[in-house]
């Protein structure tokens, strides 16, 4: 009965999404109607049913239904990549499998599909013919350094370099001839952070002088570039500690500076945040920092070797203090992807303080229980 229901319900176009995406509402609905539990066990039973459907479909010489892959592998890929939703089913030997994204694009990774015995140019030609018949759009090849012998054939077949990272190069070809080439650009913006570390009692600010500064002996805020997959606040705290030995905690986001024409012809985003020091004994990084010290507010705001933009950051901080404002950081999770992200938004310091007190009180009550 369940098999008959699935045959009537499933359209060939929806089969992959239904089967592979364990978070998909359609999959949940079918499991419910078929009397299967809405959990991983139910999904496995649905897998068995769909394999039976495929066998029936083939025996009746109906249009081809592709062979499904593990739904749990697909779910993991969904959680790790915003645009990839399902596996492309292998249609026949001699054609690359790849990953299908929600824009009908295909990504082939040499780490998963390299075979030294393949005639790569011939397999590529067959794959391109198939993808064109299937009306796929952007075709991406992620090629590892050790498989770089793929690259000449790819460029000969119209693929262009898109971006490179340590260990691999990504090439792309846009297939539709009657459609605007809607490709995402490669990463084009560097992200940096600066930490305005304030000793409120002494009204001093932590400053450094870079050993390789464009303006010798100039004073600025400690900071630097973010690391891959590093949150802004984590980066700011790390950079301050690496350059000065000062441990800090987040207080508020202050300002964003946006500019162009940076390293490797990229744009630049510079996030400045106020940090509260946990210690005051400076231990500078001698390789990068020539000088580091605590400087009084008044001296900093009038020092000839402090850039006007850096003075402006301190003025913003002092204005926030007078107005009782701060940019709080709250962490949340994406409803579907389960990815953690950071939200920054303005709040009254009084309101934020009251919420912290409520949390502390709730914690005490929980401890008592």
Each residue's pLDDT tens digit, 210-220: 998 888 899 99
Instruction: Tell me, yes or no, whether 209 and 296 share the same domain.
Output: yes
- Among 277, 255, 259, 261, which residue's Cα sits nearest to residue 194? 255
Q: Name the CA radius of gyration of the chain, rounded.
A: 28
Quote the pLDDT of residue 336: 86
- Among 93, 94, 7, which residue's Cα sits nearest to residue 51? 7
Quote the pLDDT of residue 250: 96
Helix axes 71-80, 12-20, angle to 10 degrees: 80
Instruction: Tell me, yes or no, whether 168 and 241 share the same domain.
Output: no
CA distance linking residue 167 with residue 286, whole number of Å:
31
Instruction: Tell me, yes or no, whether 227 and 202 share the same domain.
Output: yes
| Residue 245, domain member (yes or no) | yes
Query: What residues make up the domain containing 102?
Result: 93-174
User: Across the strands, what pairs with 326?
Assistant: 347
Please give the DSSP secondary-structure letter assigned to residue 146: G
| Residue 366, domain member (yes or no) | no
- Among 175, 75, 85, which residue's Cα sits nearest to residue 133? 175
CB 352 within 8 A of CB 346: no
Quote the pLDDT of residue 351: 75
Number of structural domains found in the chain: 2
Quote the pLDDT of residue 361: 46
| Residue 363, domain member (yes or no) | no
CA distance linking residue 272 with residue 270, whole number of Å:
6
Q: Kindly give the parts of the chain with pLDDT less than 70.
A: 1-93, 352-369
Quote the pLDDT of residue 110: 96
Beta carbons within 8 Å of 198's beta carbon, 6+ residues apart: 204, 205, 206, 251, 274, 275, 276, 277, 317
Query: Given 174, 206, 225, which residue is the final one in a domain?
Result: 174
pTM for this structure?
A: 0.68
Instruction: Tell me, yes or no, whether 207 and 277 share the same domain.
Output: yes
pLDDT tens-digit profile of 132-141?
Answer: 999 999 999 9
Instruction: Tell me, yes or no, whether 216 and 321 share the same domain.
Output: yes
Instruction: Tell me, yes or no, whether 273 and 302 share the same domain.
Output: yes
| Residue 277, domain member (yes or no) | yes
| Residue 348, domain member (yes or no) | no
Instruction: Tell me, yes or no, whether 195 and 322 share the same domain.
Output: yes
CB 203 within 8 A of CB 296: yes
CA distance linking residue 152 with residue 171, whole number of Å:
11
| Residue 61, domain member (yes or no) | no
| Residue 353, domain member (yes or no) | no
Residue 145, H or E segment: none
CB 166 within 8 A of CB 149: no
CB 336 within 8 A of CB 23: yes
Instruction: Tell me, yes or no, whether 274 and 214 share the same domain.
Output: yes
Quote the pLDDT of residue 349: 81
Instruction: Tell me, yes or no, whether 319 and 222 share the same domain.
Output: yes
Quote the pLDDT of residue 55: 55
Quote the pLDDT of residue 162: 96
Quote the pLDDT of residue 262: 85
Quote the pLDDT of residue 179: 92
Quote the pLDDT of residue 52: 61
Q: What is the CATH number of the domain that holds 200?
A: 3.90.79.10
| Residue 99, domain member (yes or no) | yes
Write b or e for each residue in 202-240: b if 16 or more Cβ atoms lie within 10 A of its Cβ, otherwise e.
eebbbbbbbeeeeeeebbbbbbbebeeeebbbebbbbbb
Any idea of the CA torsion for 199, 201, 203, 206, to the nearest 10 degrees? -10
Quote the pLDDT of residue 191: 95
Q: What is the CATH number of the domain that holds 107?
A: 3.40.630.30
């Amino acid at each position: 009965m369940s098999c008959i229901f699935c045959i009537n319900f499933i359209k060939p176009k929806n089969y992959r999404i239904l089967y592979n995406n364990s978070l998909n509402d359609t999959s949940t609905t079918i499991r419910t109607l078929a009397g299967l539990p809405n959990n991983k066990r139910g999904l496995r039973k649905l897998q068995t049913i769909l394999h039976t459907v495929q066998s029936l479909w083939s025996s009746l010489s109906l249009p081809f239904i592709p062979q499904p892959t593990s739904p749990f592998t697909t779910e993991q890929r969904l959680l790790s990549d915003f645009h990839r939703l399902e596996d492309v089913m292998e249609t026949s030997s001699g054609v690359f499998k790849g990953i299908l994204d929600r824009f009908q694009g295909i990504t082939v990774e040499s780490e998963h599909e390299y075979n030294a015995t393949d005639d790569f140019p011939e397999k590529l030609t067959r794959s391109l013919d198939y993808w064109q018949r299937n009306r796929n759009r952007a075709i991406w090849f992620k090629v590892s350094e050790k498989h770089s012998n793929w690259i000449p054939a790819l460029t000969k077949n119209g693929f262009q370099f898109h971006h490179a990272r340590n260990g691999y190069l990504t090439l792309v070809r846009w297939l539709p001839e009657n459609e605007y080439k809607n490709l995402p650009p490669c990463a084009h913006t560097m992200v940096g952070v600066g930490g305005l570390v304030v000793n409120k009692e002494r009204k001093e600010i932590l400053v450094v002088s870079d050993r390789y500064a464009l303006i010798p002996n100039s004073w600025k805020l400690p900071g630097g570039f973010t690391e891959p997959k590093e949150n802004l606040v984590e980066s700011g705290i790390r950079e301050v500690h690496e350059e000065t030995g000062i441990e800090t905690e987040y207080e508020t986001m202050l300002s964003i500076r946006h500019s162009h024409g940076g390293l490797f012809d990229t744009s630049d985003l510079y996030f400045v945040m106020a940090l509260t020091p946990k210690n005051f004994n400076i231990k500078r990084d001698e390789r990068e920092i020539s000088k580091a010290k605590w400087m009084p507010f008044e001296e900093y705001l009038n020092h000839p070797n402090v850039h006007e933009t850096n003075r402006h950051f301190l003025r913003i901080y002092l204005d926030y203090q007078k107005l009782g404002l701060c940019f709080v950081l709250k962490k949340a999770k994406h409803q579907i992807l389960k990815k953690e992200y950071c939200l920054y938004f303005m709040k009254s310091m009084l309101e934020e303080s009251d919420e912290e007190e409520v949390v502390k009180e709730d914690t005490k009550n929980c401890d008592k229980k």
